[in-house]
């Protein structure tokens, strides 16, 4: 009887990992924002923000590969935020330089 309870408990604990949703949307939005930042020459015009975006993106991909989806989602969101800021700042600097 005790073995059955232990088996059921192990199955319940193991099944919790199966219910975690992969952050596919966050990953694709983050990748698109990072590519847009790179295309706007953010690595030259906003290097600090671009480096942060790249760091968080690579960290998120690493967590995603290791199936730590909750952490990966947080880092994908952070990467998208910094990528968008870097792209905005790069375009702003480019526009002001051309005036």
- Rounded to 5 degrees, φ, ψ at 20 are -70, 135
Domain boundaries, the chain: 22-98
Interval 18-74: pLDDT, tens:
567 999 999 999 999 999 999 999 999 999 999 999 999 999 999 999 999 999 999
Reported pTM? 0.79
């Amino acid at each position: 009887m005790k073995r059955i309870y232990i088996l059921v408990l192990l199955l319940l604990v193991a099944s919790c990992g199966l219910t975690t949703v992969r952050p596919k949307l966050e990953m694709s939005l983050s990748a698109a924002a990072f590519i847009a930042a790179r295309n706007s020459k953010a690595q030259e015009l906003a290097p600090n923000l671009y480096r942060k975006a790249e760091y968080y993106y690579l960290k998120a991909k690493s967590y995603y590969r290791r199936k730590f989806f909750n952490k990966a989602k947080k880092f994908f969101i952070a990467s998208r935020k910094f990528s968008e800021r870097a792209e905005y700042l790069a375009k702003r600097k480019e526009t002001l330089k051309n005036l």
